[in-house]
């Protein structure tokens, strides 16, 4: 029998979005937070730069909106952008009230604001160069101390449970979640009157990523299988500068390094970004990533260099203490010379379609953070808007949920059925498909795409999904199988979205359609009612 847990709301993920939602609701609701690994592991933890917000008298809401629209190459939703920016200061105030130790400076002890690529003003509030860590530690501490919040670590979410899946009449709504307990391989049932997917993006679908191992697109895949639309999955942001070092894997080098004067150099020491954009190192990430990719392929080199050693060494150690120490661990001294960098998959700009309350197409099912498509990012994410989006939309979701009666009747959910499956004796199939999926996504659906590459990727992912479906139906589930299933689904959505966009815009660049169309809309994919992921349409959200 499956263990059964009952809460008012079940949240998948303990990053900035999930924790904010939990803390905003906990005084009124009983909250369960499921995390795939330790509760401290997640993308928020690794976010270095900061949170974008209009906090200076020299800055304006209209300027932040303009920068966001520009970075998104006019594909963002104007209403969502304005909603986010207008709520930016209140979100920062909320984080400060929670106790987040943002960096101050000078005799006035004012908060220090930095500037990053694509921004016209200094508006990035930060905690040295480890803002995500500061936010994560603060919110986890507060959530852990709240009597109405219960953490369930080492749980892998399997699928959202809806009334429609249970064969119940009336409006379809989310009522819980199946999850695998990694500690004892038991499958559990989590009842919730509300369910929120806050489990990050899908960058692990690529061979090289700056994201933690947990970023396997679980929320997007689960929402799609439940019947939710997804949008703009072709726009995958590749961070231009991750440390190129085998031991470091892909340790992120913050964009703030370039914001404070860091220069990108070729192996001969010559700068090159001015050839690609007048803003040079401060150009949006898609432009910088493509420029690096171009130079690497042109020269046949494995990386380029990032140099900030011309700045005072005390300045570097003060502004980038974490980066400085980590780079030293791998034998690179930022104060004495350049460090090797390479692009890596970093952020999923698309996701599950939601409204301004973070509500999906299914009642009582919410998606927040990188899992969601709010319309904020358009064809490219403006630096440091992501943490802002987490806070703004999680608080909006909480406000919406509070309008409901917390005492909704829990429906009966059956135990997980393993009566027809056996233990697998061919786990090599999972390992092989895992490696192949991430390799062909990197080669065929990466920074630069073509029709032929996308077609090859589509043929391969179709075959993979067929193999995975057969494996899933006949063998007991495992963490690797569940992640592979989700990654294959997300890969399929990315490929479909990329194939449907007949232009180059923002993060989607194709050699077959190198120009930008005058009129363009978000790519929206809609699952068929029977759950067959075959229908594709392009329309406005």
Question: CA gyration radius for the chain?
Answer: 22
**Using CA atoms, how far apart are residues 145 and 147, in angstroms rounded to an integer?**
6
Q: Locate 407 and state its tokens.
A: 């005492």
In a domain, 8, yes or no: yes
Task: Give the number of other CB atoms < 10 A from CB of residue 280.
Answer: 19
In a domain, 120, yes or no: yes
Longest dimension (CA), the chain: 69
In a domain, 413, yes or no: no
The single residue listed with the structure tokens 């020491």 is 269
303 in the same domain as 201: no
In a domain, 541, yes or no: no
360 in the same domain as 266: no
502 in the same domain as 480: yes
Helices 88-98, 131-144: inter-axial angle, 10-degree rounding: 60
pLDDT above 90: percentage of residues in the chain: 73
How big is the chain, counted in residues? Answer: 541
In a domain, 421, yes or no: no
SS3 content of the chain, % helix, strand, coil (to 5): 35, 20, 45
**Using CA atoms, how far apart are residues 395 and 91, in angstroms rounded to an integer?**
8
Q: Locate 314 and state its tokens.
A: 């005390």
Look at 71-85, 287-301, 327-341 and tell me which has the smallest mean pLDDT.
287-301
Cβ atoms 203, 371 nearer than 8 A:
no
174 in the same domain as 114: yes
Q: Is 518 helix (H, G, I), strand (E, B) or coil?
A: coil
Taking 60 as the threshold, does the pLDDT of residue 537 lie above it?
no
* CA 67 to the chain's CA centroid: 20
Q: Can you give the pLDDT at residue 97?
A: 97
Q: Can you give the pLDDT at residue 408?
A: 62
158 in the same domain as 204: yes
Local structure of residue 415 (DSSP, 8 states): P
Confidence of residue 261 (pLDDT cuts 50, 70, 90): very high
384 in the same domain as 479: no
Q: 346, 364, 380 — which closes off a domain? A: 346
Domain count, the chain: 3
CA dihedral sign, ordered 444, 223, 157, 209: positive
At residue 447's C-alpha, the angle toward residues 308 and 504, to 5°, is 115
243 in the same domain as 185: no
Task: Give the number of other CB atoms < 10 A from CB of residue 329.
Answer: 11
In a domain, 290, yes or no: yes
What range defines the domain where residue 257 resides? 237-346
Taking 50 as the threshold, does the pLDDT of residue 532 lie above it?
no
* pLDDT digit string, tens, across residues 142-151: 999 999 999 9
Which has more pLDDT, 529 or 509? 509
Is 40 catalytic? The answer is: no
**Using CA atoms, how far apart are residues 86 and 388, in angstroms rounded to an integer?**
11
Cβ atoms 285, 237 nearer than 8 A:
yes
In angstroms, what CA-CA distances link 427 with 186, 432, 475, 481, 533? 19, 9, 10, 9, 26
Q: Can you give the pLDDT at residue 116?
A: 83
317 in the same domain as 241: yes
In a domain, 438, yes or no: yes
**CATH value at residue 491:** 1.20.58.100
Catalytic member of 155, 173, 285, 453: 285
Return the closest-CA partner of residue 92 out of 127, 66, 65, 46.
Answer: 127
Taking 50 as the threshold, does the pLDDT of residue 279 lie above it?
yes
Backbone angles phi, psi at 312, to 5 degrees: -60, 135
**CATH value at residue 359:** 3.50.50.60
Which stretch of DSSP H or E encloses residue 174? Answer: strand 174-181
In angstroms, what CA-CA distances link 380 with 70, 143, 232? 9, 32, 10
pTM attached to this predicted model: 0.88
Cβ atoms 231, 523 nearer than 8 A:
yes
Give the side-chain half-sphere CA count within 13 A for 112: 19
Q: Burial code of 423-449, b = ≥16 C-beta within 10 A, e = fewer?
A: ebeeeebbeebbeebbebbbebbbbeb
Strands 149-152 and 31-34: parallel
Q: Burial code of 364-374, b = ≥16 C-beta within 10 A, e = fewer?
A: bbbbbbbbbbb
pLDDT above 70: percentage of residues in the chain: 94
Local structure of residue 41 (DSSP, 8 states): -
**CATH value at residue 318:** 3.90.700.10
432 in the same domain as 508: yes
Which stretch of DSSP H or E encloses residue 351? Answer: strand 351-353
In a domain, 407, yes or no: no
Q: Can you give the pLDDT at residue 214?
A: 81
Q: Locate 524 and state its tokens.
A: 């929206």
289 in the same domain as 255: yes
* pLDDT digit string, tens, across residues 113-125: 988 878 999 999 9
Taking 50 as the threshold, does the pLDDT of residue 531 lie above it?
no
* pLDDT digit string, tens, across residues 352-367: 999 999 999 999 999 9
In this prediction, residues 493-500 reach a mean pLDDT of 98
380 in the same domain as 453: no
246 in the same domain as 222: no
């Amino acid at each position: 029998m499956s263990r059964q847990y009952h809460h008012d709301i079940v949240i998948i993920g303990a990053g900035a979005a999930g924790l904010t939602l939990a803390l905003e609701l906990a005084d009124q609701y009983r909250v369960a937070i499921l995390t795939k690994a330790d509760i401290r592991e997640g993308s928020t933890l690794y976010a270095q730069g900061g949170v974008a917000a209009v906090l200076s008298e020299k800055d304006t809401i209209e300027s932040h909106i303009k920068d966001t629209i520009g970075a998104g190459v006019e594909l963002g939703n104007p209403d969502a952008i304005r909603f986010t920016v207008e709520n930016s200061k209140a979100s920062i105030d909320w984080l400060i009230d929670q106790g987040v130790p943002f960096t101050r400076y000078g005799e006035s002890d004012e908060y220090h604001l930095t500037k990053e690529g694509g921004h016209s003003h200094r508006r990035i509030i930060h905690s040295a160069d480890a803002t995500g860590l500061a936010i994560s530690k603060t919110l986890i501490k507060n959530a852990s101390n709240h009597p109405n919040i219960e953490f369930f670590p080492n749980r892998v979410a399997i699928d959202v449970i809806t009334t429609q899946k249970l064969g119940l009449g009336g409006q379809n709504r989310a009522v819980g979640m199946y999850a695998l307990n990694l500690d004892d391989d038991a499958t559990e049932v989590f009842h919730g009157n509300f369910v929120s997917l806050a489990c990050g993006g899908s960058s692990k679908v690529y061979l090289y990523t700056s994201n933690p191992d947990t970023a396997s697109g679980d929320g997007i895949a689960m929402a799609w299988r439940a019947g939710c639309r997804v949008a703009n999955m072709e726009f995958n942001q590749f961070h231009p500068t991750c440390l190129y070092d085998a031991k470091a894997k892909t340790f992120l080098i913050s964009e703030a390094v370039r914001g404070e004067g860091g220069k990108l150099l070729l192996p001969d020491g010559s700068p090159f970004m001015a050839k690609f954009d007048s803003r040079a190192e401060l150009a949006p990430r898609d432009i910088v990533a493509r420029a690096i990719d171009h130079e690497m392929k042109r020269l046949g080199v494995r990386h380029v260099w990032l140099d900030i050693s011309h700045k005072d060494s005390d300045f570097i150690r003060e502004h980038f203490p974490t980066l400085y120490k980590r780079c030293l661990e791998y034998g690179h001294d930022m104060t004495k010379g350049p460090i090797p960098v390479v692009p890596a998959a970093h952020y999923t700009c698309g996701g599950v379609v939601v409204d301004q309350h973070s509500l999906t197409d299914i009642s009582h099912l919410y998606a927040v953070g990188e899992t969601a498509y709010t319309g904020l990012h358009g064809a490219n994410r403006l630096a440091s808007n992501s943490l802002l989006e987490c806070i703004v939309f999680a608080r909006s979701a909480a406000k919406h949920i509070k309008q409901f009666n917390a005492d909704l009747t829990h429906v009966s959910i059956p135990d997980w059925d393993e009566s027809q499956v056996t233990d697998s004796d061919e786990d090599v199939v999972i390992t092989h498909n895992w490696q192949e999926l991430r390799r062909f996504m990197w080669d065929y659906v990466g920074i630069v795409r073509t029709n032929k590459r996308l077609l090859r990727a589509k043929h391969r992912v179709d075959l993979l999904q067929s193999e995975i479906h057969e494996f899933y139906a006949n063998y007991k589930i495992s963490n690797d199988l569940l992640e592979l299933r989700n990654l294959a689904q997300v890969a399929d959505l990315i490929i479909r979205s990329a194939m449907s966009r007949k232009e180059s815009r923002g993060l989607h660049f194709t050699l077959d359609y190198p120009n930008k169309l005058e009129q363009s809309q978000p790519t929206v994919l809609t699952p068929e009612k029977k759950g067959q992921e075959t229908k594709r349409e392009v329309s406005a959200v």
